[in-house]
Structure 1
Amino acid sequence: MRLCFLINPSEDWQQAVEHARHLALAALKTHQIKAVFFFGSAAKIIQDTSMQQRWNKLNSCDLWICRTMIDQWQLNETACHNHFSVTGMAPWINCMQQSDRVIEII
């Protein structure tokens, strides 16, 4: 099954991002993860180098941080680590259409 993850936390972004990472690692055992999209306050992962490094084990999928959220939170896009990239909604919508399931972490 092809999955994509949307991380859109309503409160503690760090807890939501860490929960999503554990869930994604477990899902990789039997499923393909096409992409993970960091939206809302989850875009703040761009400021947390150690959190970004923990996501490196998911190198088989795209890790996208929402450009609009980076602008909204006035974050520095150059802080993107290795496997992460900043992108808009169009690639994310395309990914959702190509996936069997979208998993949203709030």
Structure 2
Amino acid sequence: MTVALLMIATILLSIKTTIQSRRLVRLETGLALMASHIDKNHEIFKSSILGLVETMQLQFDSSKAVGEAVCQLAGDLGYAVTGDPEGEPVEGKLLSFPTATKDGDE
């Protein structure tokens, strides 16, 4: 009787281990599939981001006069404006916008 119970327990344990290993294999396969999908779309994603950055740069260049007017208004309202007044990249940044702080604020 004890031997039969031991054999049944062993069989059930091996079935459980097999099921768990199959789930693990499916999980690993799914993760590998996702990773390959990301790799394939990486170039598309990269080109989309570069296109967005170029569009932002064009919009920033075309609205430089608006930015200068905003900086002037901020100065008139008592804000100290920092940043490159010509709108050129500062400290290696692709896009930089002036920042304003109220006089006396830290």
TM-score band w.r.t. shorter chain: under 0.3
Greater percentage in helix? 2
The TM-score normalised by the length of structure 1 is 0.27
Higher relative contact order (CA 8 A, sep 6+): 1
Return the index of the structure with the highest Cα Rg: 2
The TM-score normalised by the length of structure 2 is 0.27
Greater percentage in strand? 1
